[in-house]
Structure 1
């Protein structure tokens, strides 16, 4: 007679998720890339028109300051407006729950039934969730609006992320001229490395191939700077 020994249970596997709703990643990535590309393009245009030197430094600082404050103000306003709209819709849902809780409970039951639960189970789940008004509000908001009422994006986080990231990105092509560089070579090298490196880092964060993210961002940035340098050169020749 063969006796089978019980196989030991595999240890329970726990996993965690990264924060994807904090409102910082999009403005940080957008700010850093915009700062690097726009200031690299701006400095390239100035160098193409007037040559390196004081003009390039002034243009770089002006581009950094103007872009950083503009990005921060834009991010704050857009995220603040989005959050205010979400809060207004949450208030509508709160009033509906207070005014007609039976209809809202039936709506929740119908939603779960449409997702595959049988009618009786869907009704009991909706009834259990609706026992606590605040819990019912959270469930309705998540299901109907697709947002978490306890984790709305912060306009301050978005503005600060955008400001700091844009400033850091814009400083990359400007740095060589602060130390007396007389041409675009070092600025190009640093900008190329920055574009590829940051694009690769973002790709790793979003589980994409690092080399693809790096090359994509490099192509976009170099393309923008090349066009701007050419326009600046033509403008400089025309003005001269």
Structure 2
């Protein structure tokens, strides 16, 4: 037995370095298989060949020290990245590998100048592919890969849709029946019926949307809990990738993931927030809040075009209703700029133009229908 065989620290470092090279080789070959562009495929294949050569070097060093290097297979983290490479190509994986090459360049400066040059060349090649920015967040990619992301309603969306839909739909309804020459009291009854029907429909739609989202999130949490119980190492590797993508050194990311994964309850909470984007305590908000908000705001929008018919009649009521509705539409467009930061005049005018088009169409259809029936 050689003297190096007794140097545990050196042997472990060689084994770890060899494993990193095997992992990189597997990932580059997965990227090559998923790549459709011949030039990029050749690049990944060349990178994989370099990593294979590096791994062979460390295997030879270990054998010279009378140490069995063990089977040549990628680790858990590499298998996860290979899976991502197959599904998303270089969008997610290449930025991670670019950062890895930079770290490998520094590590090899004390070991092999030739290998350091290889890793530096790899880093330059990957920077040329994806630039200096990071790719898609790894947690988002993992979530899309495993089970997709659910899109649910929320109170803010319900507010915007509620006011706008209430105003436009009921104003268009009022303009339509007004165009048909219906009496003012009948227009009022029609408007109130449209208000109640529309508000109820919007509230029900929001309740179903949010409740379905909550149920889907709950199902995702259940699946994630099963994954943690059945594939703890793989889930831990995925969590490490999340923290690595946020800028931590791979070793630190693995240590944090290992600590957080020690308790199943904590692990589930962390995976839910980092991978799925779910707050286990909220699950997407309350369906009753969304439904109530939608109902009230739809009513607030829908009541504007019918209020003039409570106090006025005839063409005067129609004109005032149209003016009130136009002001309401412009106000909604202006209010939206609080979120978008765009021009108040532009946003308000755009909202008014769309609403006015709807009013004109329904008024014209109503007038035509009234003439035919009458």
Pairwise mapping of residues 1-240 of structure 1 onto structure 2 (< 5 A)?
A: 23-151=154-282, 152-183=284-315, 184-240=318-374
Q: How many residues align?
A: 220
Offset of residue 50 of structure 1: 1.9
1:139 positional shift:
2.1
Structure 1, unaligned stretches of length 5 or more? 1-20
Q: Which has the higher contact order (CA 8 A, sep 6+)?
A: 1
Cα pair 1:57 1:178 within 8 Å, conserved = yes
Taking structure 1 as the reference length, the TM-score comes to: 0.85
Residues 47-81 of structure 1: CA deviation (Å, up to 9, x unaligned): 00024412211110110011011111111112111
Paired with 1:29 and 1:114, the residues of 2 have a C-alpha distance of 35
Structure 1 or 2: more helix by fraction = 2
Distance, in Å, in 1 between the alignment partners of 2:263 and 2:345 is 50
Shift of 1:94: 1.4
Closer, same or farther in 2 for the Cα pair 1:114/1:180, shift >3 Å?
A: closer
Q: Which moved more, 1:104-113 or 1:31-40?
A: 104-113
Q: What's the TM-score once normalised by structure 2's chain length? A: 0.56
**Residue 31 of structure 1 contacts residue 71 of structure 1 at CA under 8 Å; is this kept in 2?**
yes
Looking at structure 2, the residues matched to 98 and 211 of structure 1 have their Cα atoms a distance apart, in angstroms, of: 56
- Alpha-carbon RMSD across the aligned residues, in angstroms, is 1.9
Structure 1, residues 4-51: CA drift from partner, whole Å, max 9, x if none?
xxxxxxxxxxxxxxxxx9921101110110010000000000000024
C-alpha separation in 1, matches of 2:347 and 2:266: 41
Match of 1:3 in 2: none
Distance 1:228 1:153 in 2: 37
Using the alignment, how far apart are the partners of 1:182 and 1:162 within structure 2? 31
Deviation for aligned residue 1:146? 2.4
Q: Distance in 1 between matches of 2:224 and 2:171?
A: 48
Q: Which runs of 5+ in 2 are unaligned?
A: 1-151
Structure 1 residues 136-176: Cα deviation after superposition (integer angstroms, max 9, x where no partner)? 21221223222222232211111001100111100000000
SS in 1 for 2:306: helix
Instruction: Provide the rounded CA distance (Å) in 2 between the counterparts of 1:74 and 1:215.
Output: 29
Q: Is the partner of 2:307 in helix, strand or coil?
A: helix
Range moving further from structure 2, 88-97 or 163-172: 88-97
**Contact 1:22-1:154 at 8 Å conserved across structures:** no
